[in-house]
Amino acid sequence: MLNISTKTPTGGFSFENTRRNAVLEANLSEKGYSAPNARKTGTTIAGLIFKDGVILGADTRATDDMVVADKNCMKIHYISLSETFFTLPGVAADADVTTQMMSSNVELHSLSTGRPPLVAMVTRQLKQMLFRYQGHIGSSLIVGGVDVNGPQLYSIYPHGSYDKLPFLTMGSGAASAISVFEDRYKPNMELEEAKQLVRDAITAGIFCDLGSGSNVDLCVITDKTVDYLRGYDQPVQKGMRGGTYRYKPGTTAVLTKTVTPLPLDVVDESVQVMDTE
């Protein structure tokens, strides 16, 4: 008897291949190989509230286990025109898709309410989505922006918890960056001082953490403007060679010279005409 599916297809995730993948991975690991990993962005990201708004900073290295997969990837993503930006460590693909979906959702929501979006709204939608998928979507994020309630900064973890604080860091380099913040943060700082502080925090992460590196990206959000300073600082420049390492001809003295001619006999001679019309 034919057993044909009578259900209408629905959208969303399909778990059809999970068993097959589990069996494949088990077989591979028996032989000593490992399945390819998702590309993560072990990272340092930081956010800070200053007098007129929010500054978000991030490094630009994406790693694939122990190999640098992307030297200059963009970790600060924009959510909505007026204010909020994201920054993200975690699995790179998850982060990208999450950002795009959130940006569409925020736009739809603000169109349907007729008001500019709030940072708290973005945070709530994100944490509800991340909780729904129980941490299988591996992206932790910092959301920052300026709305009618003033400048705000939230951090969200992959399982759905969140924090609202005046300065935040996340990622593998978070410990180094937060130590810089704890030392020098003051409320209501000026723009240049705040930019310097975030830059110093990210640089601490770049130097003290293997998963972060390359350049520092900054994003300054105030209630009137959004300034995305990509490549604000490059603390790690590639070294320049001090001199040339070529030797001059004649540096090595020749002591003796022997010439041995090889006797060769002509065995066969044939002429092949090329077709050159």
Partner 1 sequence: MNTRGLRSQLKDSVPVTGLCPQAGPYGVQDSLRRGFSSVKNELLPSHPLELSEKNFQLNQDKMNFNTLRNIQGLHAPLKLQMEYRAARQIQRLPFLPSSNLALDTLRGSDDTIGFEDILNDPVQSEMMGDPHIMTEYKLGVL
Q: What is the Cα–Cα distance from 44 to 62, expressed in whole angstroms?
A: 11
Residue 220 three-state SS: strand
Q: What is the Cα–Cα distance from 111 to 148, expressed in whole angstroms?
A: 17
Kindly state the tokens that stand for 203. 């640089």
Q: What is the Cα–Cα distance from 230 to 141, expressed in whole angstroms?
A: 19
Shortest spacing between CB 174 and partner 1, in angstroms? 28
Contacting partner 1 within 170-189 (CB under 8 A): none
Shortest spacing between CB 234 and partner 1, in angstroms? 36
> Should residue 104 be labelled a site residue for partner 1 when binding is judged by CB under 8 A?
yes
Contact 44, 176 (CB under 8 A): yes
Query: Among 108, 148, 165, 210, which residue sits at the site for partner 1 (rule: CB under 8 A)?
Result: 108
Rounded to 5°, the CA angle 105-98-228 comes to: 85
Residue 92 three-state SS: helix
Judged by beta carbon, residue 35 or residue 273, the one nearer partner 1 is: 35
> Should residue 35 be labelled a site residue for partner 1 when binding is judged by CB under 8 A?
no
Query: Among 39, 124, 133, 229, which residue sits at the site for partner 1 (rule: CB under 8 A)?
Result: 133
Active site residue 43: yes
The pattern of x and - marking residues 135 through 154 that bind partner 1 according to CB under 8 A reads: -x------------------
> What value does the CA radius of gyration of the chain take, rounded to a whole number of Å?
29
The active-site residue, picked from 43, 63, 84, 87, is: 43
Q: Where are the beta strands (DSSP E) in 107-215?
A: 141-147, 150-156, 162-164, 167-170
Contacting partner 1 within 64-103 (CB under 8 A): 97, 101
Query: Among 51, 71, 115, 132, which residue sits at the site for partner 1 (rule: CB under 8 A)?
Result: 132
Catalytically active residues are 43
Residues in contact with partner 1 by the rule CB under 8 A: 1-20, 22-23, 97, 101, 104-105, 108-109, 111-112, 129, 132-134, 136
